[in-house]
Structure 1
Amino acid sequence: MKYKKSILPSAITIALSGQAFGQTIQTLEKTVVKSQSIERDAVVEVLSSEELALRQVDNFEDLVKLVPGVSVSKGDDRWGASGFNIRGLDEDRVAINVDGVPQGETLKYESGQAYGYFKGSRNGVDIEALKSVEIVKGADAILSGNGSLAGAVNMTTKDPDDFLSYQGDDSGFAIKAGYSGENSETMTSLTAANRTGALESLIIYTYRDGNEFENYDMNGADIEGSAREIPDPQDTKLNSVLAKLIYEISPDNEIGFVGTYYKTKVITDTQSFNGGWYSNRVGNDISKTTRVGVFHKYEGETALFDKITTALNKQSIDFAANTSQHARFGFGGGITTDEDRVDTRAFNQDLFQVTVDLEKSFKFAQQKHKLVYGAEILNKDYENSQVRKSNSILNDKGWVESSSQALIPKSEADIYTLYALDTFNLGKTTQARLGARYDHYTYNAKADENYSDESGTLGEISFSMATWTAGIEQALNDSFSIEMGVSTGFRAPTIEDMYTTSGTLDDWNEVPNADLKAEYSTNYDVALVGEFSKGSFRLGTFFSKYKDFIDSEKRQGINTNTGETDPDGFFVNFNSDTVEIKGIEFSADLNLSRTFDLTPGLKTRVQAAYTSGENSEDTPIYSIQPFNLTWGISYDQPEGNWGVHTYASYTAGKEDKDSFTIDENGEKTYPLYSSNAATIIDLTGYYNITESLRLVAGVYNVTDKEYYRWDSVRFVDQGDMRPGIGVTDNGIKRYSEAGRNLGVNVSYKF
């Protein structure tokens, strides 16, 4: 077929050309990144499936391990990843798209996190299904959409012709098996692709079976309660299916179908939660993401477009957290509760999306223009429920079912989007970009049997957002250029942001606020870029300004029933003052073989990122990651039969001056635990036993360093997903990262 197959709805992602079997892709992050002739004003890192395979990437933490300034937001191993952290902002403030389809929103219910019952996460795609991953640093509303305040992660799934010859009838099959020592996970992936006449097909099935992620010392105290030093026992199972059918109507015209299925089941014996009132707690959590879509592509020179892509997608994300435990407590010296419980908290998100994306090249006033533009219609439905089944030994009623107020009301969102981005030349050495986007949101929240509208705030809410981007690239000579860009992003308030509530009219704990504005960011990037025959580099600085940042604060108010001031106060979300984040980023590639006249195939790469930021009260942004630097040296045999790659990653420790909060009395509060400075070395290698059979193996944390990630420990003293028992004695050890561990996989293609 004439062009590579990929779905390009609301976001336009990087499509990588095929690579030799034994080669990796090292893409220097640049302000201007070309993707099918499309350029943008953002710093972008592109990772191909080939690079992910050689690094044995099994999860999203592995994915961003060597990308400074980017990490994975994580609560604990029961809930897994809740999104990405880019340039100091995380979770819903970083957009996540798969084939242009937005992924789920988080649902954390801040006031209930201490009980550890529920945390809805965002991601629903397996690494083996991905062709490429585009990591965008900086605001990117034009191409990445809602949530791209600080950046975006845009993923593209594989296509049939990734496994087939360029043309003609053909079939391709692949089998891959792997083992990861950090969580004793075994993985099996099966792929089948076919082209018969004008019809192409693909199916990829992946199964993973693993245990808890190890900490540094798995011989630590294996006890129950807050002093537990090793992770809670866990059993995880994952099933993933990607299926595609593409029919070529003509060389420039095709129609396709895509279907995905992603299901995880995680059983966690949460022994660290046992103690005091609760015992025998076990979490049984199921997350399922399904998507079906159809798309049509047509290439032909018309007055309006040279290429048009239309797509319809229907996605459903269902998450159920089931917690069984025994509860025994009382007040006034007597036992008031002694029962077995099963609590089920479900969060369902359904999405229907229609997108039209167009590309047009033309000449105007002697200037060459590349215009991409399009529209999107998006409908989202949200529903949450909380159900408890209890069996009390204090009476003989048996199992009794009851429902609690849902965390959010049943809601619907209708979203309409228009966007355009034009790239054009200004003379022979200057290139410019201008883009704009318009989004209109209508939320409709209703009371039902799961959510009563005691506060009287439910109803229909509408608002609009306009975002834009502008950039310029000026060549100084044949080797150096200056890149400057201004980009904007936004995050619409979520249903949780607006309607989170707890307590009653007599005594509110958390009050809803349906008048929230969308968060808005403006990002400035300036960089010096050098490109030479032996390597390249980029030295850049950025400054990001955020307004209407959604935050929570404790307030005093009048009790609506008594007319008196509530002595305990209540929490409410509000749009805060300006937040500012700035930083420096550096990356460089050097061909060592050319530089020192050595055997071909020896290369090195260095990347570093430093970020700092504070709000209007000069309080540091808690989620900003410490300084990080990675250095890699790789050797790939010129014939591509084998290669060895070494990666060293240095992360500074988190300092108190960068991680304090200010309480309601104006006093500084510092974290109980911080991350430590650490240099971690990984060593991987591959060997092509035959043209079709490849072995990849790696040793990770080679020096067996004990270290803690800031994203793993920063919530401990805030009670996020840790109950009142928290962490005592040496219990913090269970949040350390894995020591030296091994990984291996074998793949066979035929």
Structure 2
Amino acid sequence: MLGLIGHAQTVVVKEKASKEPIPGVVLYNLKKNKSVITDIDGKVVIDVFSENEVIYFQNFLYTKMQLTKGEIAKSGFEVFMTLSVEDLNQVVISASKFEQNKRDIPQSIVSVSASDIALANPQTSADALAATGNIFVQKSQLGGGSPIIRGFSTNRLLIAVDGVRMNNAIFRGGNLQNVISIDPFAIQNTEVTLGAGSVVYGSDAIGGVMSFYTKKPQLSYKDDAFIKANAVTRYATANNEKTIHADVNLGYNKWGFLSSVSFTDFEDLRMGRHGPDEYLRTQFVETVNGTDILVNNSDPLVQNSTGYNQINLMQKVHFEPADNLKFDLGLHYSGTSDFARYDRLIRPSDNGLRSAEWYYGPQKWFMSNLTVTKLSSSSTFYDKIQATAAYQNFKESRIDRNFQSEIRRTRSEQVDAFSFNLDLEKRLGKTSSLFYGLEYLYNIVGSDGLETNIGTGQNTASLSRYPDGASWQSIAAYTSYKYKPNKKFVFQSGLRYNHIISNANFESNNAFLNLPFNTSKINSGALTGTAGIRWIPSDLLEWNLNASTAFRAPNIDDIGKVFDSEPGSVVVPNNNLKPEYAYGGELGLKLNFNDKVRLDFATYYTFLDNALIRRDFTLNGQSEILYDGELSTVQAIQNASQEYIYGFEIGAEVNFSKKLQLRSQYNIIGGTEEANGLEVPVRHIAPSFGRTHLTYKHKKWIFDAFAIYNNELNFNELAPSEISKDYLYARDENGNPFSPSWYTLNLRTQFIINDNFELTTSLENITDQRYRPYSSGIAAAGRNLIVSVKYSL
């Protein structure tokens, strides 16, 4: 080891997979109070350490490792670290709340890293999900984004942020846009479980789980501060998007702080030139001197009244008093301006358009969560324990006024959501591990209604959307077992028992609605389970088989909502509901031809029993009532159907070289449900869809040419609820509504200008196609140039 003496020893730390240098890796020995940090090129001088001294390598994105100085010299002063959180081909968290190798999970899990998001440049987190190729996204307005996974959507999918459930007591069966509250700039990685996740996450996790993990502060592991900052600005032509973002990391020996802020302003969205004329925005309503008039749109490609703005704030605090104990505090806030419900603004009527106003008030979300993580090598009950307590507050409102009406209706809601999770992991031996935990959730709903005469300014109390003061509780215990006798075989199974209690009082609303009951209570339990295997007989083959049950318990939206679901229909409360259950299976096959060609196949089937769906109903013996001045058919959420959903997914990856890669994903989904003795298409069955990317990487450049494509859904393939919204669709040769096929061609590049600047540009929908994704109320963007500049310090 004489070569170690007499000159500065410089180590280069690189990522194991890509061989790229890693900046910001801390090399330290706390006992000796020594630490150094790699620079932007992954280099660091280690003269401060002695020859046989143990040096720890740590960066929150990578698996912690330790080497002596002598071992580093033997490796030629190159050290390779393995991605832990970001590289989800290696590690996933969402499947059990703790890190596991992805190859140990029998279910299909889609991964989105921070670098994927930076290249995709999505305007919202909904757009980031759509970029995976496995998730279909519906939009009723620009401020929207309702994911559809394997034929399920809205309250049959679960959203989690840093392990905390976002779904609340008023998550609805209709399309919802809560996912846009999550800032894509703040995401470190996202894991999307395709298929049921009820054993770990409980109610709602029928079709899939979207787990977002936000960025964490990085420590310096010494007294001197470690400071890292980023700033991003972006502009897009299709809706004149103006975005700014900044984040600052301040790390000390045991404390770390991360602050993040993003602001985005969107103007009205412009659609493409080539496509169905039915999508054009030919007229809109203006109010002149207190009178509503129809105005011809000077540019029918511009979707009038779609613009809005949004701000996202995040503050993270990390405290690590010891190697085996960590505290993480997260504060999140998201708020939008008012934004129009565009699909309601284009509803026709005898007068031209039905609504003069229809918009959401500011959508606000606040979350505070505290997580304590402790490791133990001596406890009988756990090797790792994690406790998370969280509080969330949701605020939303709906404001609408009919054309030439003086009455503006405002319905406002808020939810206070409290949660506590205790998750434990225990290794039972060399071949098996046990994961188990407890969960408690409590939601309370506030809701009120108001009618305002815009001529006189007089306010009058009116029917609220939900029963004010309603509550929803969930108590659960779960356990999951993993058996891995060797590297080729893994078996995982789990059970969860969930008990749901909800209470709603309708006395206030009965002054307007006259229900035959004043209260509604649900007190029910649900037992769900899963079992699956992953078998890797060779480097060529990998099989996975998984069977699971899942459930969704009725929430306050199901039992207590009053709203106009579609023109001429009104949904009223129903106090006679029980949980719906899903029974499903998945078979997957992966083929790997020497890492040159990889093929991924999956097929699945789900049977949904006692499905909670909207059906015709009677109120006090009447099938029609007067609601908001219109005679409307009475409907209610009921356990009135069974659904059968099936699908096939194929993914392909061809590595022509280390620089040139082809990736493609295609999804085929089908399904039927029972309605009035007939089998009809399920509402949230998306058309077959996919995307193909050809990516070239050279030095500091990335080029990505890609195509996105959707198949047609003809008239006979549309669900009855979609046919009733025929104004959203194009017309076939018989004059019937249908969803046409469409495609876009796109190109984006990313260039690292120097150590501080990064430029990302995209030209989307190059051929300027005019299309409206299935079930969406707004046409997608036409030709769109996006330019983003990132500065890092």
TM-score category of the 2 structures, normalised to the smaller one: 0.7 to 0.9
Provide the C-alpha distance between the structure 1 equivalents of 2:404 and 2:502, rounded to a whole number of angstroms: 39
* Residue type of the alignment partner of 2:335: K
Provide the C-alpha distance between the structure 2 equivalents of 1:352 and 1:314, rounded to a whole number of angstroms: 5
Shift, 1:708, TM fit: 2.5
In 2, are the aligned partners of 1:66 and 1:649 still within 8 Å (CA)? no
Q: Deviations over 1:353-397 (max 9, x none)?
A: 11111111122xxx61122211111111112211112144xxxxx
> 735, 747, 754: which one pairs with 1:683?
747
Q: Secondary structure at the match of 2:559?
A: helix
Instruction: Say yes or no: does 1:480 pair with 2:544.
Output: no
* Residue type of the alignment partner of 1:345: R
> 187, 197, 211: which one pairs with 2:267?
211
Provide the C-alpha distance between the structure 2 equivalents of 1:100 and 1:88, rounded to a whole number of angstroms: 24
Shift, 1:155, TM fit: 0.7
Instruction: Say yes or no: does 1:50 pair with 2:80.
Output: no
* Residue type of the alignment partner of 1:93: R
Aligned counterpart, 1:90: 153
Structure 1 residues 27 and 451: alpha-carbon distance in aligned structure 2, compared to 1, 3 A threshold:
farther
Q: Deviations over 1:421-456 (max 9, x none)?
A: 111124663210111111111101124545657321
Provide the C-alpha distance between the structure 2 equivalents of 1:404 and 1:208, rounded to a whole number of angstroms: 35
Instruction: Say yes or no: does 1:407 pair with 2:472.
Output: no
In 2, are the aligned partners of 1:139 and 1:150 still within 8 Å (CA)? yes
Q: Secondary structure at the match of 1:710?
A: coil
Shift, 1:345, TM fit: 1.4
Instruction: Say yes or no: does 1:158 pair with 2:215.
Output: yes
Aligned counterpart, 1:494: 555
In 1, are the aligned partners of 2:169 and 2:556 still within 8 Å (CA)? no
Q: Deviations over 1:327-366 (max 9, x none)?
A: 34xxxxxxxxxx3x44321111110111111111122xxx
Aligned counterpart, 2:31: none
In 2, are the aligned partners of 1:602 and 1:635 still within 8 Å (CA)? yes
Aligned counterpart, 2:530: 469
Shift, 1:75, TM fit: 2.1
Shift, 1:661, TM fit: 3.1
Provide the C-alpha distance between the structure 1 equivalents of 2:572 and 2:310, rounded to a whole number of angstroms: 38
Instruction: Say yes or no: does 1:286 pair with 2:362.
Output: yes
In 2, are the aligned partners of 1:513 and 1:572 still within 8 Å (CA)? yes
In 2, are the aligned partners of 1:374 and 1:420 still within 8 Å (CA)? yes
In 2, are the aligned partners of 1:232 and 1:268 still within 8 Å (CA)? no
Provide the C-alpha distance between the structure 2 equivalents of 1:359 and 1:476, rounded to a whole number of angstroms: 28
* Residue type of the alignment partner of 1:613: G
In 2, are the aligned partners of 1:457 and 1:514 still within 8 Å (CA)? no
> 372, 386, 393: which one pairs with 1:296?
372
> 315, 321, 332: which one pairs with 1:249?
321
582-591 or 310-319: bigger deviation: 582-591
In 1, are the aligned partners of 2:357 and 2:399 still within 8 Å (CA)? no
Q: Secondary structure at the match of 1:286?
A: coil
Aligned counterpart, 1:307: 384
Q: Secondary structure at the match of 1:53?
A: helix
Provide the C-alpha distance between the structure 2 equivalents of 1:542 and 1:119, rounded to a whole number of angstroms: 25
Gapped regions of structure 1 (runs ≥ 5): 7-14, 329-338, 393-397, 562-566, 594-599, 714-734
TM-score, length-scaled by structure 2: 0.77
> 37, 56, 64: which one pairs with 2:129?
64
Provide the C-alpha distance between the structure 1 equivalents of 2:701 and 2:598, rounded to a whole number of angstroms: 25
Shift, 1:267, TM fit: 4.6
Shift, 1:59, TM fit: 1.4
> 353, 356, 360: which one pairs with 2:422?
356
Shift, 1:56, TM fit: 0.7
Structure 1 residues 35 and 744: alpha-carbon distance in aligned structure 2, compared to 1, 3 A threshold:
farther
Q: Secondary structure at the match of 1:704?
A: coil
> 227, 237, 256: which one pairs with 1:200?
256
Shift, 1:205, TM fit: 0.5
Gapped regions of structure 2 (runs ≥ 5): 1-25, 27-56, 62-81, 286-293, 624-630, 724-731
* Residue type of the alignment partner of 2:330: V
Aligned counterpart, 1:131: 188
Q: Secondary structure at the match of 1:493?
A: coil
Instruction: Say yes or no: does 1:266 pair with 2:330.
Output: no
Aligned counterpart, 1:710: 774
Q: Deviations over 1:291-345 (max 9, x none)?
A: 11222111112111111111111000011234467734xxxxxxxxxx3x44321
Aligned counterpart, 2:493: 434
Q: Secondary structure at the match of 1:549?
A: strand
> 659, 669, 689: which one pairs with 1:611?
669
* Residue type of the alignment partner of 1:352: F
* Residue type of the alignment partner of 2:418: F
Instruction: Say yes or no: does 1:320 pair with 2:400.
Output: no
Aligned counterpart, 1:343: 409
| RCO comparison, higher one (Cα < 8 Å, 6+) | 1
Aligned counterpart, 2:229: 173
* Residue type of the alignment partner of 1:308: I
Aligned counterpart, 2:502: 443
Structure 1 residues 136 and 181: alpha-carbon distance in aligned structure 2, compared to 1, 3 A threshold:
farther
Instruction: Say yes or no: does 1:748 pair with 2:791.
Output: yes
Provide the C-alpha distance between the structure 2 equivalents of 1:678 and 1:509, rounded to a whole number of angstroms: 34
Which residues in structure 2 correspond to 1:563-574 (within 5 Å)? 570-574=634-638
Aligned counterpart, 2:141: 76
Provide the C-alpha distance between the structure 2 equivalents of 1:683 and 1:49, rounded to a whole number of angstroms: 20
Alpha-carbon RMSD across the aligned residues, in angstroms, is: 3.6
> 583, 586, 609: which one pairs with 2:647?
583
In 2, are the aligned partners of 1:525 and 1:543 still within 8 Å (CA)? yes
Provide the C-alpha distance between the structure 1 equivalents of 2:223 and 2:482, rounded to a whole number of angstroms: 33
Aligned counterpart, 2:582: 521
Shift, 1:550, TM fit: 0.8
Shift, 1:712, TM fit: 1.3
Instruction: Say yes or no: does 1:630 pair with 2:691.
Output: yes
In 2, are the aligned partners of 1:105 and 1:121 still within 8 Å (CA)? no
Q: Deviations over 1:652-706 (max 9, x none)?
A: 1112332253999xxxx99943222222121110111101210000100122223
455-464 or 209-218: bigger deviation: 209-218
Aligned counterpart, 2:605: 543
Identical-pair percentage = 19
Q: Secondary structure at the match of 2:738?
A: coil
59-68 or 532-541: bigger deviation: 59-68
Provide the C-alpha distance between the structure 2 equivalents of 1:539 and 1:279, rounded to a whole number of angstroms: 46
Structure 1 residues 740 and 544: alpha-carbon distance in aligned structure 2, compared to 1, 3 A threshold:
same
Q: How many residues are aligned here?
A: 668
* Residue type of the alignment partner of 1:547: D
Q: Deviations over 1:206-240 (max 9, x none)?
A: 01111122222499665336996441234311111
TM-score, length-scaled by structure 1: 0.81
Q: Deviations over 1:545-587 (max 9, x none)?
A: 11110122224686399xxxxx997423221242111111111
Provide the C-alpha distance between the structure 2 equivalents of 1:276 and 1:526, rounded to a whole number of angstroms: 51
Shift, 1:738, TM fit: 1.9
* Residue type of the alignment partner of 1:182: A
In 2, are the aligned partners of 1:355 and 1:377 still within 8 Å (CA)? yes
Provide the C-alpha distance between the structure 2 equivalents of 1:352 and 1:663, rounded to a whole number of angstroms: 36
Instruction: Say yes or no: does 1:224 pair with 2:284.
Output: yes
In 1, are the aligned partners of 2:520 and 2:559 still within 8 Å (CA)? no
In 1, are the aligned partners of 2:157 and 2:209 still within 8 Å (CA)? yes
Structure 1 residues 577 and 560: alpha-carbon distance in aligned structure 2, compared to 1, 3 A threshold:
closer
Q: Deviations over 1:55-104 (max 9, x none)?
A: 11121442133334422232233x623x3111112111111111122224
In 1, are the aligned partners of 2:551 and 2:579 still within 8 Å (CA)? yes
293-302 or 122-131: bigger deviation: 122-131
Provide the C-alpha distance between the structure 1 equivalents of 2:263 and 2:147, rounded to a whole number of angstroms: 24
551-560 or 48-57: bigger deviation: 551-560
Provide the C-alpha distance between the structure 2 equivalents of 1:279 and 1:568, rounded to a whole number of angstroms: 16
Provide the C-alpha distance between the structure 2 equivalents of 1:614 and 1:278, rounded to a whole number of angstroms: 32
Q: Secondary structure at the match of 1:63?
A: helix
Provide the C-alpha distance between the structure 2 equivalents of 1:521 and 1:167, rounded to a whole number of angstroms: 54
